Amino acid sequence: MKLHPTSLTRRGLLLTGAALSAAALASCSSATTQETVAPAQTGPIADRTETSGDTARAHGGPYGAGVYNTRQVADELAWIDENVHPFDGSSKRILITGSTAGAGQLTAAYLLKRRHTVVVHARNEQRAADVRQDLPGIDDVVTGDLLDLDQTRALAQQINSIGAFDVIIHNAGEYGLQDVELLNSNSLSPYLLTALVTPPRQLIYLTSDLHLSGDLKLDEVRSGSGISYGDSKLHMAMIATAAARFWPDRQINAVAPGWIPTRMGFHNGNTSTPDSLRDGYMTQVWLAEGTEPGSDVTGEFLFHQRVEARVNKLVHDTQAQDSLFAAYAEQTGVSFPAANLPPDHKAARREPTA
Ligand SMILES: NC(=O)c1ccc[n+]([C@@H]2O[C@H](COP(=O)([O-])OP(=O)(O)OC[C@H]3O[C@@H](n4cnc5c(N)ncnc54)[C@H](OP(=O)(O)O)[C@@H]3O)[C@@H](O)[C@H]2O)c1
């Protein structure tokens, strides 16, 4: 494949590998502090309840700059619009959850410019209208607030009703909410969507360095009570590795984008972020297109187009995966379709590596 303005190769990684590793470490330790330190008084983004593209545009900000997106994300969306060329391989049908802002919207915009068929997901009708204005080429919008598990179940039905996908990217994520809301949006909802939506050929789950501080929290999952953001991102990675084990004929990975300048990255009043915004969504593009060496990997935790070595040992612990899925089934009443595996499949499980 010929090089495009934003190359899918590891060029950027090779040039800046050491710096990125240091940044990832800094991201992890600093961001862990975000969870425990009181929020700063100011931040660059208005409250989510005010989000509306009309509001943003009325204030002179295309792509919701200063409202639901940061200036950096808005500038990157404009850059994609001007610079990205069509893909010369076969077009894919791709769904991205949480694609009205941030990394999800950037992934959607990039794949759209590459002439893939892209369906986006919005939390409500207002945000659906915003993204239709921002990305006029999208094929469709599905709606549902992942904080509400009934809406998540209805969303699964909507998705199934509009036909099969080649790739689904579970990108949506909340930060800084009360505990049970995080359980619903970041853990139970991606599980429900995985279990209830017709499985595509490829699944990608957005996780975070902060999964390193996460724990299983099985009692909390069973009882529907609080978990932290780190717990939820551990769960997201484990849904990916468990699903990859249950569905060996599909390609399924977890991806950490790095600490990037989206609205979430600027949470708690942060005014700078250490990692590249473009690298934060290009792994998803690289996997979805799947034409470059290494992009056929499965069952892994990836950071910037590479298998990440610093991974919570629970991510690849098959007993822990089974316990989490059993807790999910108890809480939601929905069993993962492949949970009743034959014994010979269980014998092929991967053992914990660290
Ligand atoms: N930014 C970082 O530094 C960072 C670091 C590590 C991991 N991540 C992960 O990367 C992913 C993308 O984050 P981001 O930085 O792009 O954040 P973002 O700019 O805040 O965008 C999050 C997207 O998810 C949607 N969303 C959130 N909660 C939802 C809900 N309950 N129902 C429906 N949609 C919902 C948002 O919709 P609205 O626009 O309506 O809010 C938005 O489209 C997340 O999974 C996040 O945990 C981010």
Average pLDDT in the chain: 83
**Ligand 1 atom at minimal distance to the Cα of residue 106:** 16
Separation of 348 CA from ligand 1 center, angstroms?
Answer: 35
When comparing pLDDT for 183 and 337, which is higher? 183
Q: Are 175 and 186 in contact (CB under 8 A)?
A: no
Quote the pLDDT of residue 341. Answer: 47
Q: Are 66 and 75 in contact (CB under 8 A)?
A: no
pLDDT exceeding 70 applies to what percent of the chain?
78
- Whether the predicted pLDDT of 7 surpasses 60: no
Tokens found for residue 246: 């249950």
Quote the pLDDT of residue 179. Answer: 76
Quote the pLDDT of residue 339. Answer: 52
> Does the CB atom of residue 261 touch ligand 1 within 6 A?
no
- Per residue in 118-129, pLDDT (tens digit) is 999 999 999 999
Closest CA to 183 of 144, 230, 138: 230
* Cα dihedral across residues 284, 68, 12, 82: positive or negative: positive
Quote the pLDDT of residue 32. Answer: 31
Euclidean distance between the first and final Cα of the chain, in Å? 36
At residue 310 the predicted structure's pLDDT band, cuts being 50, 70 and 90, is: very high
Q: What is the mean pLDDT of residues 258-276?
A: 92
Q: Are 315 and 254 in contact (CB under 8 A)?
A: yes
- Whether the predicted pLDDT of 68 surpasses 60: yes
Quote the pLDDT of residue 89. Answer: 87
> Does the CB atom of residue 123 touch ligand 1 within 6 A?
yes
- Per residue in 227-255, pLDDT (tens digit) is 999 999 999 999 999 999 999 999 999 99
Q: What is the mean pLDDT of residues 163-169?
A: 97
Question: Looking at 68, 229, 281, 328, which residue is catalytic?
Answer: 229
Residue 45, helix vs strand vs coil: coil
Which segment of 16-25, 76-85, 141-150, 158-167 scores lowest on mean pLDDT? Answer: 16-25
Q: What is the mean pLDDT of residues 6-13?
A: 30
User: Measured at the alpha carbon of residue 256, what is the angle toward residues 252 and 261, in degrees to the nearest 5?
Assistant: 140
pTM of the model: 0.85
When comparing pLDDT for 66 and 59, which is higher? 66
**Ligand 1 atom at minimal distance to the Cα of residue 145:** 32
CA atoms of 287 and 277, how far apart (whole Å)? 17
Closest CA to 279 of 116, 96, 103, 66: 103
Q: Report the residue among 67, 96, 105, 123 best suited for mutation to probe ligand 1: largest number of ligand atoms under 8 A from its CB.
A: 123
Residue 331, helix vs strand vs coil: helix
When comparing pLDDT for 32 and 263, which is higher? 263
Which segment of 51-55, 101-105, 184-188, 267-271 scores lowest on mean pLDDT? Answer: 51-55
- Whether the predicted pLDDT of 271 surpasses 50: yes
- Per residue in 220-234, pLDDT (tens digit) is 999 999 999 999 999
Quote the pLDDT of residue 56. Answer: 52
Rounded to 5 degrees, φ, ψ at 143 are -125, 150
Q: What is the mean pLDDT of residues 92-108?
A: 98
Domains and CATH numbers, the chain: 10-332 (3.40.50.720)
Q: What is the mean pLDDT of residues 95-124?
A: 98
Quote the pLDDT of residue 22. Answer: 31
At residue 133 the predicted structure's pLDDT band, cuts being 50, 70 and 90, is: very high
Separation of 173 CA from ligand 1 center, angstroms?
Answer: 4
